[in-house]
Structure 1
Amino acid sequence: MPTTLKLEAFLPYRLSIASNAVSDAVASAYRNLFGLRIPEWRLVAVLAEGGAMSQQALCGRTRMDKVTVSRAAIALAERGLIQRGANPGDQRSRLLTLTPDGWGLYEQIAPKALEFERRIFDVLPRAEQEQLRAMLERIEAAAGALQSGVD
């Protein structure tokens, strides 16, 4: 185990750099094709997959902070892509849902997202892609355990 930090070999740094490189590549395409920023696209995708959700639930699902989720929700609402409705479980919050225009946008973007994923990860054989998915799940679980104070 190394005793000095070398950033280029530090796995949390490398994960962040790789994540940012993938996000940046996808972000420019989404911005050019659909006028969306990554946080906005994430909200659209999560709402399409999970149905109506509060902003707090969206923060948990996307791992984005409240301000980022709020700004993305405002931008999407201004474009008529999401709507806010009553939350029967909590009168203090609103549930966000996709509008028909939001669904239409999702149906345009989802195939492109899958194509971007394919093009980026084609450098890895299918078996390595599956290994990477499994490793990422274990890393996320370990990070969650550390954050919760569990060893």
Structure 2
Amino acid sequence: MPEDLGMQHINLTLPGNALAVRSALETILEQLKAFGFSGENCSVTELVMAEVMNNIVEHAYANGDPGPILISISANGSHLAIEIIDHGDPMPRYSLPQATLTNLDCPLDDLPEGGWGWLIIHEIAEDLVYSRIGAKNHLSFQLSSKRALKAP
């Protein structure tokens, strides 16, 4: 990630649907590249952001009309501080899902198709915090080049 560029920000509000998520990811990547972030760091950021936003679309907004997703990203030196807010259903038990590793000791065809997202998020993101404030979900975390590029 770039060094000593000072604080730079990305703020987006998008509808909670898959097409808007794709467009938002493209916008975020364009901005990060303009800030000087490497392709590798952009890819790691895209992976985590896609997992988070797709979970919002598929789960938080699954039981009603898709509401907005608000994204705030602050880029400073070698890390990103990210906050994502939605108006969807709360997380089960009002807490973050655990990072559960699937049993990999099985034939390739028997591996589950889904269920990898929170493991990826927990492995790459730092300072991961979820809270339910009123009728809104707040998720914040940080991504740093030191951690992101060493993740499995």
- TM beyond 0.5: no
Higher helix share: 1
What TM-score do the two structures reach when normalised by structure 1? 0.25
Higher strand share: 2
What TM-score do the two structures reach when normalised by structure 2? 0.25
More contact order relative to length (CA 8 Å, sep ≥ 6): 2
Which of structures 1 and 2 has the bigger CA Rg?
1
